[in-house]
Amino acid sequence: MHSNINAVHHHLETDKPHLLFLTETQIRCPSDAAYLNYPGYSLEHHFRQRAGVCVYVRNDICCQRLRHLEDPDFSTLWLLVDTDHCLVKSVTSFSPPDCDSRGERRVWRYKSADWDEMRHFFASYPWQQVCFSSENPSSCAEAISDVVRQAMEYYIPHGDVPVGSSARPWFNAGCAEAEKRKHSAFLSWVDARDRKAPDLSSKKRAFNHAAKSYKKALRKARFDRISHIGQKLSAQPSGSRAFWSLAKSVEANFCRPTLPPLVRPDGTLAHTAREKAGLFASLFAHNSRLDTGIATPPTLPHCGTSMPEVRIRNKEVLRALCRLDANKASGPDGRTIFPYVALFESLDNLLVEEWFEIEVCLTPNPSLAASVGLTLLLVMMPPVTTESKNNSTVSSSLMLTAKSIDED
């Protein structure tokens, strides 16, 4: 309103509209709004910072403002106008987009936009020809939208990305042909089933064969693409620009973190690699017992308490192991928990004996001591049912300790 007040007054002088509504005025309510008035018009306003609305009403229009209907939390104006004009009716053919539709979506990179040039474009554009070129408000709105989109395409980098379909760069012509044969065999089998044809069993076998062939074609296409990428990486000099360009393309620019978000002492989460590294560094420095030279090592205060006696029994070990779901899928390392469950079921008696030797200050076998520590972990954890999803935590601990036993 401050920078365009002359244009507003010029429009009131030349076109003499009955009502002129202005939205998103972007100013706070001034202490004196007299400079916004114009002869022959009355001004009703509800100015707010980064919002606000106002309306100029010509003096020959009977208008009354209904303030009791206005919500103070929103920028609204309720006006009761006595006029013989017809009500404005707007019909739109807009419908919600289909969620399953496949196509492209334009993505705008606003952080790389040239905002100064865009402002200069808007300031120098002949808006008079666009805003008041037609008596149809819908046509004017479409024209203004076209100008705004044109400026966005000029000064904001953008790109079109596919929507509704997963990228499958390995899907070649052989996969498409196998998929076509599978679909054709499926339609033939469904038709024979509906007609109760005598060759239904042969159609079923043909469909099963086509489905297996399709899976083999997909598996082979994936393997061939991985092999091709590996050959290209091995052919490029290590550390070269072409090598890292291909590696970044395969690994999605290395944007997939290997560590989950970590919890800081104040309860907040560390998401970025820098934040996680800083959290680990502070934790290691706090727990470090190394002599840094002139600095004296920290002393641990005596807490005055003792650890209660730990008792591990065969039944508790077996109960904890049997409650693990041995049929769950393997983790990222490809190892399942079933072999380790069978291993510890056969060694439960030996584990308890080894723990007894530790308790009486004997020196056990290092690998069996690690097993005892694992058994203690299983006993101290809460029971895990077959339906529970928390089995992954126990499985990870079990596999980790089992790996250390294998290495020992």
The predicted structure's pLDDT at residue 99: 56
**DSSP β-ladder status, 79-82 and 62-65:** antiparallel
Q: Residue 371: its pLDDT value, please? A: 46
Helices 137-155 and 115-124: crossing angle in degrees, nearest 10, is 140
pLDDT at 374: 46
- pLDDT-above-90 percentage for the chain: 7
Highest-scoring range by mean pLDDT, 99-103, 181-185, 269-273: 181-185
- What is the Cα–Cα distance from 258 to 123, expressed in whole angstroms? 48
3-state secondary structure at position 280: helix
pLDDT of residue 216: 92
Domain residue limits, the chain: 5-82, 104-163, 175-250, 257-287, 314-407
Q: Which residue has the higher pLDDT, 287 or 351?
A: 287
Q: What is the distance between the alpha carbons of residues 195 and 189, in angstroms, rounded to a whole number?
A: 10
Q: How far apart are CA 230 and CA 300, in angstroms?
A: 52
For the segment 36-56, the average pLDDT, to the nearest whole number, is 84
Name the average pLDDT for the chain: 73
Rounded distance, CA 232 to CA 167, Å?
A: 21
Quote the pLDDT of residue 96.
59
pLDDT above 70 (res 263): yes
The one-letter code for the residue type at 187 is L
**227 — pLDDT class (breaks 50, 70, 90):** confident
The whole-number pLDDT of residue 304 equals: 72
Q: What is the pLDDT of residue 289?
A: 67
pTM for this predicted structure: 0.29
**Segment 109-132 mean pLDDT:** 86
d(CA 389, CA 402): 21
pLDDT tens digit string along 125-172? 888 888 877 878 788 888 888 888 888 899 998 887 766 556 677 788
**Structural tokens at position 106:** 């334009």
Per-residue pLDDT tens for 165-219? 566 777 888 888 999 999 999 999 988 888 888 888 899 999 999 999 999 999 9
Question: In Å, what is the CA distance from 188 to each residue of 5, 203, 211, 213, 291?
Answer: 73, 7, 13, 17, 78
